[in-house]
Amino acid sequence: MAPVSADSGLRERIDASLKPAPAVIWWTRDFHGDTDQVREARYWIADLLPDCDPLADVLLLASELCTNAVVHTHSGDAGGRFSVAVEWTGEVARVVVGDQGSPKAPTIGVQTGDISRAREAGRGLRLVDGLATDWGTASRPGRRWVWADVPWQASGGPPLEAPGELEASGELAASGDGDAMIAGVAAIRKAFPGTTIWWGHLTKAWWASVPQPSDCSDLIGSPSRDGLSQALARACPRFRHPVPTDGPTRVPVLSSNERSKPL
């Protein structure tokens, strides 16, 4: 066996490990398992990220995955729910849709055959397979997640827009828009654990999605970040971070042999 020092790729791996990790920001929300909630999920994602070609791909993938969750899993049963999470690193945007499981794993349906329902179910996942640079599934008893990745910067996606208030406050002086946005979100999350915070690129407002059950409304908005913090404090005086009963909304970290891409 060659000594470690003879590994020609060692220095590159060491150099890569010393580089700062890419900025990561994520958002997650739960939706009722109704077909009209697919449109609500699309509108929410469109508010999270700036308008561009990669966002159009993310929205199309999200629509297919949300529709699949509502139509083909227990999330579409009475009282069912599904979750949507979006993760952005600048290099990649990932959408993750969590459902309440079904007897069959999601598969890409065959192109020919006599079972029209199977063809219909598989057509959306064929689109996902063709559009996403990578996708896969993860599952736990009664829960399943399907995730799909879209290249962001390489496809012309811009940095996240930071609202003017951050620029006026000088928070952009030592960082880019994306880093300032992430810092702004982190500041509110620290004060109100469990909330999903975002600056709306469409609505031009700050928003918080509060985990349920809690003592305040699901959505709270304000024109400014400080105003959102104050609104959360007023609306949720006894704010607490509830422990979810139906599993996490983000895809769990899996080892390589647990990840799957059914074909």
Confidence category of residue 157, pLDDT binned at 50, 70, 90: very high
Higher pLDDT, 214 or 106: 106
pLDDT for the residue 173: 43
Q: What is the pLDDT of residues 43-99, one digit of tens each?
A: 999 999 999 999 999 999 999 999 999 999 999 999 999 999 999 998 999 999 999
Distance CA 176, CA 28 (A): 24
Beta-bridged to residue 199, according to DSSP, are 206
Task: Tell me the average pLDDT across 154-182.
Answer: 65
Q: Which helix (H) or strand (E) holds 26?
A: strand 25-32
Task: Tell me the average pLDDT across 139-163.
Answer: 90
Task: Tell me the average pLDDT across 194-211.
Answer: 90
- The pLDDT of residue 16 is above 50: no
Entry pTM: 0.75
- The pLDDT of residue 128 is above 80: yes
Domain ranges of the chain: 25-155, 164-235
SS3 per residue for 204-263: CCEEEECCCCCCCCCEEEECCHHHHHHHHHHHCCCCCCCCCCCCCCCCCCCCCCCCECCC
Q: What homologous superfamily does CATH list for 25-155?
A: Histidine kinase-like ATPase, C-terminal domain (3.30.565.10)
- Do residues 50 and 201 make contact, with C-beta atoms less than 8 angstroms apart? yes
Confidence category of residue 159, pLDDT binned at 50, 70, 90: confident
- The pLDDT of residue 8 is above 70: no
